[in-house]
Amino acid sequence: MSSTPKAFPEIVSPSEWRRAHAAFLAKEKAFTRAKDGLAAERRQLPMAKVEKHYTFDGPSGPVSLLDLFEDRPQLLLYHFMFAPNVHGWPDAGCPGCSMFVDNIGQFTPVHLKARGVSLAVVSLAPLANIEAYRKRMSWPHRWVSSANNSFNTDFGLTTAEGELHGMSVFVRKGDEIFRTYFTSQRGSEGLGNVWGFLDATPYGRQEAWEKSPDGWPQTPPYQWWRRHDEYDLK
């Protein structure tokens, strides 16, 4: 953006600004309530069982899809475009996916863990490429390679037209894994923060004000919030 923009909003008096702001605030609150309703509907979506066993390449050795849950009930898995024919290959991943991961923040996963949600990233690139790029970008998040399995193809992320990106949401029932939700393109824009990620999960924020099916875990709002270094997590 130019340091000296020439276009600006209309200039009005303070009283006119307050009236315009109040009118717009009413629309914003209606939009927030509509989003809450959509999230409630998302929590009631059906789920599909993952029938195949997948093993990924990780920095400490092979890991399964179940391992990525880290013993928590829910998993957010970001499909990061990093493969031949993707911009930046072989030294860098997709610019848009990189911007998305930048947006997650270093401590977002800590707050997610407090609600039983693990977060990981998966790419088709070999692990060596992933590790080199992850270190370059200073990302702490768990990132595994699907180079040696059919995961990307099975989940529709590798197509005849090329690689795709997106976020898959999984829940486990014991050792059984189910996919509950997927979003990509502009659907990913509302994610990247604690609230957006939790709203994408089947159990949501797990706060008592949410409309959720019977039996969903819920606690009073705000009371689970902690500074990121004050949670008692495994």
- What domains, with CATH codes, occur in the chain? 42-199 (3.40.30.10)
94 vs 86: CA distance, rounded Å = 6
* Per-residue model confidence (pLDDT) at position 91: 97
Query: Which pLDDT belongs to residue 1?
Result: 56
Strand partners, 62: 57
Give the separation between CA 224 and CA 132, rounded to whole angstroms. Answer: 36
Question: What was the pLDDT predicted at 65?
Answer: 98
Residue written as token pair 């088709």 = 124
The pLDDT, as a whole number, for residue 190 is 83
Distance, in Å, from the CA atom of 72 to the CA atom of 216, rounded to the nearest integer, reads 15
pTM for the predicted model, two decimal places: 0.94
Q: Could you report how far apart the first and last alpha carbons of the chain are, in Å?
A: 44
Residues constituting the chain: 234
Which regions of the chain are under pLDDT 50?
Answer: none
Residue 4 is predicted with a pLDDT of 81
Rounded-to-integer distance, Cα 40 and Cα 93, Å = 34
Nearby residues of 229 by Cβ (< 8 Å), 6 or more positions away: none
Q: 29 φ, ψ to 5°?
A: -65, -35
Specify the pLDDT at position 2. 60
The Cα-based distances of 40 to 73, 204, 213 in angstroms read 19, 8, 9
Q: How far apart are CA 73 and CA 202, in angstroms?
A: 10
The reported pLDDT for the residue numbered 160 is 86
